[in-house]
Structures are given as structure tokens and as C-alpha cells.
Homo-oligomer: A and B are copies of this chain.
Amino acid sequence: MRKFRLLAPGPTEVPPQVLQAMARPVIHHRTPEFEALFEEVRRGLQWLFQTRQDVLILAASGTGAMEGAVVNACSPGDKVLVLKGGKFGERWAEICQAYGLTVIPVEIPYGKVADPAAVGEALRRQPGIAAVFATHSETSTGVLNDIEAIAAVVRKTPALLVVDAVTSLGVVDVPTDDWGVDVMVAASQKAIMLPPGLAFACLSERAWAAAGRARLPRYYFDFLTERKSQAKHQTAWTPAVSLVAGLKVALELMQAEGLEAIFARHERLAAATRAAATALGLTLFAERPTPAVTAVKVPEGLDGGAVVRLLRDKHGISIAGGQGSMRGKIFRIASLGYADAYDVLTGIAALEFTLAELGYPVRLGDGLRAAQDVLQK
């Protein structure tokens, strides 16, 4: 008998109620039943995004919504500022470059937080920036950027602010309207507790006006077409109806818990994970850690890939290794979405076993007790 557990920063575990909702017979999308469902999830998403704007629902993974943000905000020849502090910041740059935009990078060393003053400085040095692309929770390094402060800086210029909130939405406070973020994108398989396959985008009035002027080519991700359809409780293209049915239940679960409680839970679980890692003599990688995922440096002499493989193959627990240039240098444990204190303790117990099995000097229980001390508070 083997049990499998997901402690990776997405896909995350999906609650049984949500799995059940997705297993119900498929309904046709051009029916009053679907339209009522769609209207309800759109209201739920507005609550989650803390916005009065429409939240578009796309059949795509998060990268699709990121591409949509680029092609609806920009025009050929535009100069854009991209905050690059990890794989997902780099993805913004790659998408912008694929569409021929001039990318001015703000290079942030991996593990460090974006400096809002540096963003302001870059905007001053490069007048005429059309949009600033940022990552709220940089999943590849475990850093949480200060979007509120970055937004305050960007708001002093005419540039649009586009934010990847894929692993921050439903984890930390993301008051889209209050911060003045122009395009906020997210995806289903993180804190929203769904399988992958849905992506979301929320645009400010300024961003909608920009979309009306934007001249990059687009069709599947044309947000104007999508907005027109979604106002009639339909999508422009056939929606992923089973995921939308699951989304309804997932949003109900989130609303029953409440935003404040959700944020507090994620912070508490991440604090316990960080305390455990520190108690085991490990070093955290992120300067300003996101509660979505805890990035831990692989100690000298240890094979980072082996930690991930052993946890998975022997202990049945999926965490994440380092991506790209971080491969083998960090591992990342998440307690994201449908996760509680016992999931975290399970992950820590397994990590202790794994480190011991790999010959790293660990006293079993040290990490667990440190985590319990945090969790008891």
C-alpha cells in the first residue's frame, strides 16, 4: 500500500468535493445551467481577485494568460520593463521577445527580492516604457515581491503594470484594484485547488483601454473578444466545462474559509516549514520568502536531485527541485492550496528521513518539533 502526496508548488492536491464535481456528467456550455454556473464562478473570482473588474476564464495553463497579457497590452515596437528574478520573470521576457517587443530587463539576483526603487530608477532612465512585467510570488526561487510598493512606483508613470499572481493569488493578500495593478494573471492548479487547465486574467480600466489600442496579433487570447462573450456568461471558445464545474466548488470552499483565514493558514504553514528547515541546519534561499513555497539550499556535498527523487520514489511525496540554473542547488517544498498542518509535518518527517538516508547529519524530530512550535501558536 503506497500513498502519494503533493507538496509541490503546483499542481497541488485537489479536494475530494472538487474532484467529485468534475466527475459529474458534462453539461453543454450553451445552456442556462452553464451560464448560471459561469456567472457564479465569475463572481467568486472577483471576490478572490478583490476586484470590481471582470475576471476572464481561459482554457489554458498560466503561461497562456501571460501571453494574453502581453498581446493585449502592447503594440509592435513597444519598450517594456521586465523584472527578472527567476524562471517566471524570465518567461515574461521570453514572451515579450517572441512578440518583438524591446525588453529592458531589471536583473534581480536569484533569491533576492525586486527593489521598488530600482524599478523607479529604470523607469526614469528609460522614458516611454509601455508596460512593466512583474512576478508576485517567484515560484522558482521562493521569493515574494512587494507588488504594492512596485505598483506605487509604476503608478507615477504612464506604464501599465502586469503581474503574474499564479502562486500568490489565494496565498497572500492580492488586492488587485487597491494596488492599481493593470493586468493580474493566475492559474487553476495552485491555491485555487483545481487541476491545471484554467487560466485567469483581470484587467483595469486603463488596461482595457490599452487592449483597445494594442496592435500585437492575437486571436485565441484576444481579451476583448473574450470579455464580450463572458459578459454574456459564455466564453469565446469552448470552455473547459469540467474544470469550471470544479472551480465553483473550490471557490465555495475558499469563501467558506475566508480570505483572511486562507492567508493566515498559508503563512503559518510556510513559517513552520521554514522553522523546520532552519532547525535541521538547512539554509533558506529566498531573501523575502513567499508562503507559497519554501526554497531550501541543498547543503554542500548533497545531491539535490537525489533529495527530490528519494522523497518521491521511496516516500511518495512530490516536492520540486531547482529549475534551470538552480537545478541541484535548491529544493522547494510547498504547502499550497488544499494543505494543512499535518501535510506540512508529513513533509518534514519525510524530509528528515530522506536527509538521513542520504548521509546528511540530521537528528530525527528536530525539524518536526520546530514546526510544531510554530503550529501550536
Contact = CB atoms under 8 A, between A and B. Distances in A.
A314 interface: no
B195 A242 contact: yes
B23 A22 contact: yes
A219 B67 contact: yes
Contacts of A23: 19-20, 22-23
Interface in A206-262: 216-222, 236-243
Interface stretch (A58-66, A263-271, A272-280, A340-348): A58-66
A61 B199 CA distance: 13
Contacts of A236: 63
A242 B197 contact: yes
A304 to B, nearest CB: 14
A100 B220 CA distance: 15
Contacts of A14: 25-26, 242
Name, among A13, A60, A67, the residue most crowded by chain B CB atoms within 10 Å (CB to CB). Answer: A60
Contacts of A67: 219-220
A197 B64 contact: no
Contacts of A94: 219
Contact of A6 (B26, B187, B195): B26
Nearest to A12: B26
A180 interface: no
Q: Name the 4 nearest CB pairs between A and B, nearest first.
A: A197-B240, A23-B23, A195-B242, A28-B318
B31 A11 contact: no
Contact of A240 (B10, B195, B221, B239): B195
B238 A196 contact: yes
12 contacts: A13-B26, A19-B25, A22-B22, A31-B312, A59-B64, A59-B197, A60-B60, A63-B219, A98-B222, A100-B217, A187-B238, A189-B238
Given A67-B220, A240-B196, A11 B25 contact: no
A7 to B, nearest CB: 10
A8 interface: yes
Contacts of A30: 8, 318, 320
Nearest to A246: B242
Contacts of A237: 60-64
A257 to B, nearest CB: 20
A220 B64 contact: yes
A95 B216 contact: no
Given A24-B19, A28-B318, A195-B242, A216 B217 contact: yes
A62 B31 CA distance: 20
A29 interface: yes
A6 B67 CA distance: 34
A99 interface: yes
A188 to B, nearest CB: 9
A197 B196 CA distance: 10
Name, among A11, A94, A98, A238, the residue most crowded by chain B CB atoms within 10 Å (CB to CB). Answer: A238
Contacts of A196: 29, 59, 238-242
Interface in A67-96: 67, 94-95
A241 B60 contact: no
Given A197-B242, A220-B63, A25 B4 contact: yes
Contacts of A197: 59, 197, 240, 242-243
